[in-house]
Structure 1
Amino acid sequence: MSVITKKALAASLKEMMGRLSLDKITVKDLVADCGVNRQTFYYHFQDIYDLLDWIYKREALDSISNCRTYDTWQQGFLKIFQYVLDNKKFCLSTYRSMGREHLDLFLHQAVFELLMAVIEEVSADMQVRMEDKNFIANFYTYAFIGIMLEWIRNDMSEDPEFIIERLSVLIEGDMEKAINKYAMS
């Protein structure tokens, strides 16, 4: 029953964010829209931002779980773009509100985990310190997030497939080179 309640609260928040800024939505408004009481909300979530995090993790992170290999990372990135595009009003409302940090954290977690899995795969037969792997993953994570945030800022007008294609051409072979530079003999 609790997953059903969480999903109902998530659906209400997403619907409300389609017409209101996240900063204007209160727990009182949300529970009235959803038809549950405040106590039920606080049983599941600390605040609206906790619900926002839950939505991003549940809906988007799960969709890229099978795209964390060297051969599939582009599909994982494309799924992240597609999620944002499919949930445009919701993501734009987050982006343009005090909840922006939650969007940034979601993007960082999604991209970092995807890239770290690729780095682990590529460096499987090498000795590379974990801190170096983290550094490489963070470097590429921030580059990708910068591209994505610019895309969001520009109202998501460019085709995500074109962006991923350009990104793929740009960094082809670079991750392996970076890992080789940090590999210990």
Structure 2
Amino acid sequence: MSLMTKNALAASLKAMMERSSLDKITVKDLVADCGVNRQTFYYHFQDIYDLLGWIYKREALDSISNYRTYNTWQQGFLKIFQYVLDNKKFCMSTYRSMGREHLELFLHQAVFDLLMSVIEEVNANMQVRVEDKDFIANFYTYAFIGIMLEWIRNDMSEDPRVMIDRLSVLIEGDMEKAINKYVKR
């Protein structure tokens, strides 16, 4: 029952964001649309932004769990782009609202986790300090998020596959180089 309620609240919020800005949606509006009471909402979520974060984690992060290797990271990134494109109004409403931080947090978590898995794979036979691996993952994470936010800002007009191909060419071999540089330190 609990997951059904969360899913119902998520579906209501997404539907409401198709028609209205996130900043204009209240918990009162949401529970009325969903047919539950405020207490039920607050039993599951602290606020609308908590629900927003739950939606991104549940819908998007699970979809990239099988693409966290050196050979599949491109498909993982493509899945992230595809999720944003498939949920364009929802993501644009988040991007243009106070919820933008939640979108950026979701993107950071998704990209960082994906890249850290790749770094761990490349680092398998080397000894690199945890803080150095975190630094490498954060560097690439912010680069990728910057590219994605610019894509969103430009109304998602460029084909994500083209962008992933460009990224792949640009950074091919760079993670190994970065890890090797930290091994030599």
| TM value normalised by structure 2 | 0.99
Distance 2:55 2:167 in 1: 27
Distance 2:12 2:184 in 1: 52
- Structure 1 unaligned regions, length at least 5: none
Letter in 1 for 2:21: S
- Show the counterpart of 1:112: 112
- Show the counterpart of 1:63: 63
What is the deviation of 1:44?
0.4
1:126 is paired with a residue whose SS is: coil
Equivalent residues in 2 for 1:1-185 (5 A)?
A: 1-184=1-184
What is the deviation of 1:133?
0.2
Could you list the per-position Cα deviations for residues 29-73 of structure 1 after superposition, in whole angstroms to 9, with x for gaps in the alignment? 000000111011001000000000000000000000010000000
What is the deviation of 1:127?
0.6
Question: Contact 1:127 / 1:184 at 8 angstroms: preserved in 2?
Answer: no
Give every structure 1 segment of 4 or more consecutive aligned residues whose post-TM-superposition deviation is greater than 4 Å.
none
Distance 1:12 1:138 in 2: 34
Distance 2:139 2:56 in 1: 22
Measured on the aligned residues, the alpha-carbon RMSD in Å equals: 0.7
Question: Contact 1:115 / 1:141 at 8 angstroms: preserved in 2?
Answer: yes
- Structure 2 unaligned regions, length at least 5: none
1:18 is paired with a residue whose SS is: helix
What is the deviation of 1:184?
4.6
| TM value normalised by structure 1 | 0.99
Could you list the per-position Cα deviations for residues 88-139 of structure 1 after superposition, in whole angstroms to 9, with x for gaps in the alignment? 0000000000000000000000000000000000000001000000000000
Question: Contact 1:22 / 1:93 at 8 angstroms: preserved in 2?
Answer: yes
What is the deviation of 1:6?
0.2
Distance 1:46 1:135 in 2: 31
What is the deviation of 1:151?
0.2
